[in-house]
Amino acid sequence: MDHPNDTHLKSIGYILWLFGFTGSHRFYYGRPITGTIWFFTFGLLGIGWLIDLFLIPSMDRQADVKFRAGRVNYSVAWILLTFLGFFGVHRFYLGKWITGLLYLLTGGLFALGYLYDYWTLNDQISEING
């Protein structure tokens, strides 16, 4: 069950799992290497994606231990990145107005900044929350 003090929520993990062939749920839980593998192999040809259905609770617990809670909500930032990242909305939410405007004007820095944020968003939030 999700608790308000969790840094990551299982419910968001499962929503992102629906797009799991892209690796988005793995990026959300702070696993950028396997997220990238899932992205390029379509969730290990769907097999890894199905296995992850059962692994999400343990990935959620590990993320809650690894990352720091604070004023910035991980789930909100990840939803903004996933669905509006090319427009920089997640960067505005993080208080990074200059790069937010840059993303807005360049389509997430021509998608490279968007991908960079998939790799680093959890660490960016932990730093802000520190």
Q: Are both 120 and 78 inside the same structural domain?
A: yes
pTM exceeds 0.85 for this model: yes
Q: Is 1 helix (H, G, I), strand (E, B) or coil?
A: coil
Q: Is the pLDDT of residue 2 over 80?
A: no
Q: Is the pLDDT of residue 108 over 80?
A: yes
Closest CA to 114 of 62, 6, 39: 39
Give 3-state DSSP helix, strand, coil % of the chain, rounded to 5: 80, 0, 20
- Domain residue limits at 25: 1-66
Alpha-carbon span 103 to 87, nearest angstrom: 6
pLDDT of residue 21: 78
Query: Residues 3-37: pLDDT tens digits?
Result: 556 899 999 999 999 987 789 999 999 999 999 99
Q: Are both 49 and 96 inside the same structural domain?
A: no
How many domains are there within the chain?
Answer: 2
